[in-house]
Amino acid sequence: SKDRTRDIIHVSDVANAIKLSFDNPKSYGKIYNLGTGKKITIERMIHLLTVGLGYKTGGYPVKYESSTAGDPFDTLADINAVKSDLNWKPLISPEEGIKLTIKSYKNAKSKKEKVAK
């Protein structure tokens, strides 16, 4: 369903949380949920990817299927423990994370194309 939601996080926020956990004995032996604490719909993610990659919206119809067994409709990370223990917070929104990922992809693709010439 296009209305399903996910809590996605940019890799730099994950790396920052990992570094903070190494430097803080309070985190030793603990498991933390990481996310932005914000939901983004599947439809919104597809729109951002489509536009960001330069494709025409609606040019490639997306077929939204019914749910898969065991796949939750909504996900939202509870980040209270990591915020409290490590004084960590995500710095990049889901939307900005998608934009940064697309930018990185385009840069890598451009470099690969230059090497291939």
Reported pTM: 0.84
**What does the angle CA 45 – CA 50 – CA 51 come to, to the nearest 5 degrees?**
105
Q: What CATH number should be reported for the domain holding residue 57?
A: 3.40.50.720
> Dmax over Cα atoms in the chain, in whole Å?
52
Alpha helices (H) in the chain, listed in sequence order: 11-22, 42-52, 80-86, 94-116
Domain that holds residue 95: 5-116
Which residues are bridge partners to 6 per DSSP?
Answer: 40
What digits encode the pLDDT tens for the residues 50-101? Answer: 999 998 887 778 888 777 788 888 999 999 999 999 999 999 999 999 999 9
For 86, phi and psi rounded to 5 degrees?
A: -110, 0
When divided into structural domains, the chain yields a total of 1
